[in-house]
């Protein structure tokens, strides 16, 4: 492994540890008194929203297809994990192990659903795929409304509260890291090639359907993990919560942050998760506000706020210390000497 890459890994790990330490001190010292738990709740909400938005960005930004039913995969993961933990509630299972099992089952259930939905539908493109994903989400919602095990049309309550912010923080870090590595991998580059020219990729021998279904399944898997976190944080849920508007909200956050930019998804999801809480008095106008922001971005910044740009802590430190400029100048001088 090149020395520069090792250095980048070390810097990023140190940065995450410092961020975690800062949040830990912020929440545990109780600076804001009784409102500290309130802010911790917002941070937890931001974490599972980040997982949802980055997973949707795999479809919209990397694969170049619109999905308007991503909340359906989230609901599958939420209900599957809740059913599991309810069955384990009376057994002597450590809390952390139960939490990991909930995440795994939620992710796998959503991934299996993603395969079942993806195989017959991913031959479609554009508006047709978006319409099918909306139909899928509605089918799932109606099914959960009628299944007794999910509480029927009533609220499924009594779910064990397992989503501790500190656990959720590191789960979010792992999920975003894996998705980022997928995008930078050979598989991710192949999916981008399919996005750029579907016909050319197919003519080059790329199994287009396989790569699209794989990306769709990975995206659904992480949406299921976000659903498991959601279920065990809220401890009660109803199928109507996972409606079309919820999916549209995630898609809006992807577009505002920047399709194809993981940095945009992370920052956009965190900011837009906290915004409704900061403007609780205007909560009923939240979607109106999103719509206005979305229209303005489409006019003045069509690629989103961050476009395809990715933040690099290593690059930022090099620019801050002047090390990057020194290397650039040395390289230019070397070329000039040649």
Query: Which of helix, strand or coil describes residue 1?
Result: coil
How many CA atoms, within 13 angstroms, populate the side-chain half-sphere of residue 197? 6
Q: Inform me whether the pLDDT recorded for 200 exceeds 80.
A: yes
Are the beta carbons of 263 and 309 closer than 8 angstroms? yes
| Confidence band of 333 (pLDDT split at 50, 70, 90) | very low
- pLDDT of 327: 45
- pLDDT, greater one: 95 or 338: 95
- pLDDT of 310: 83
**Mean of the per-residue pLDDT values of the chain:** 85
- Give the relative orientation of helices 165-184 and 208-234 as an angle to the nearest 10 degrees: 170
Query: CA of 17: how far to CAs of 24, 170, 285, 313, in Å?
Result: 10, 10, 37, 13
Q: Inform me whether the pLDDT recorded for 286 exceeds 80.
A: no
pLDDT average, residue stretch 148-176 = 88
Integer distance in angstroms from the first to the last C-alpha of the chain?
A: 29
- pLDDT, greater one: 328 or 56: 56
Only one residue has tokens 């999801």, namely 269
Are the beta carbons of 264 and 306 closer than 8 angstroms? yes
Q: What is the DSSP string of 11-75?
A: HHHHHHHHHHHHHHHHHHTTTTGGGHHHHHHHHHHHHHHHHHHHHHHIIIIII----S-HHHHHH
Largest CA distance in the chain: 77
Q: What is the DSSP string of 114-174?
A: HHHHHHHHTTS-THHHHHHHHHHHHHHHHHHHH-GGGTTTS-B--------HHHHHHHHHH
**CA trace torsion 233, 234, 237, 239 (10° rounding):** -70
Query: Which of helix, strand or coil describes residue 103?
Result: helix
- pLDDT, greater one: 47 or 152: 47
pLDDT average, residue stretch 242-259 = 86
| Confidence band of 280 (pLDDT split at 50, 70, 90) | low
pLDDT average, residue stretch 161-174 = 94
Buried-exposed string 128-158: b where 16+ CB fall within 10 A, e elsewhere: ebbebbbebbeebbeebeeeeebbeeeebee
């Amino acid at each position: 492994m090149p020395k520069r890459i090792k250095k980048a890994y070390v810097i990023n790990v140190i940065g995450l540890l410092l961020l975690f330490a800062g949040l830990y001190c912020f929440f545990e010292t109780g600076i804001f008194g009784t409102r500290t738990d309130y802010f911790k709740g917002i941070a937890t909400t931001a974490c599972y929203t980040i997982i949802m938005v980055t997973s949707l960005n795999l479809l919209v930004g990397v694969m170049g297809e619109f999905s308007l039913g991503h909340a359906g995969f989230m609901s599958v993961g939420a209900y599957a994990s809740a059913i599991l933990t309810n069955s384990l509630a009376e057994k002597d299972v450590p809390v952390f192990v139960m939490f990991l099992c909930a995440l795994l089952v939620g992710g796998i259930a959503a991934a299996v659903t993603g395969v079942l939905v993806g195989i017959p539908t991913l031959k479609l493109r554009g508006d047709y795929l978006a319409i099918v994903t909306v139909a899928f989400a509605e089918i799932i919602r109606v099914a959960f409304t009628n299944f007794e095990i999910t509480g029927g049309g009533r609220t499924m309550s009594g779910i064990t509260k397992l989503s501790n912010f500190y656990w959720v923080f590191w789960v979010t870090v792992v999920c975003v890291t894996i998705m980022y590595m997928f995008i930078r991998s050979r598989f991710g580059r192949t999916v981008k090639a399919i996005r750029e020219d579907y016909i050319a990729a197919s003519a080059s021998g790329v199994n287009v359907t396989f790569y699209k279904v794989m990306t769709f399944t990975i995206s659904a898997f992480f949406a299921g993990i976000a659903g498991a976190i959601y279920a065990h944080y809220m401890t009660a849920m109803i199928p109507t919560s996972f409606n079309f508007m919820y999916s549209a909200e995630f898609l809006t956050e992807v577009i505002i942050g920047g399709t194809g930019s993981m940095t945009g998804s992370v920052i956009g999801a965190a900011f837009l998760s906290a915004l409704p809480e900061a403007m609780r008095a205007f909560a009923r106008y939240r979607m109106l506000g999103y719509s206005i922001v979305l229209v303005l971005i489409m006019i003045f910044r069509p690629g989103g706020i961050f476009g395809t740009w990715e933040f690099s802590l290593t690059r930022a430190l090099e620019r801050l210390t002047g090390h990057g400029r020194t290397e650039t100048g040395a390289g230019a001088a070397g070329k000039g000497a040649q």
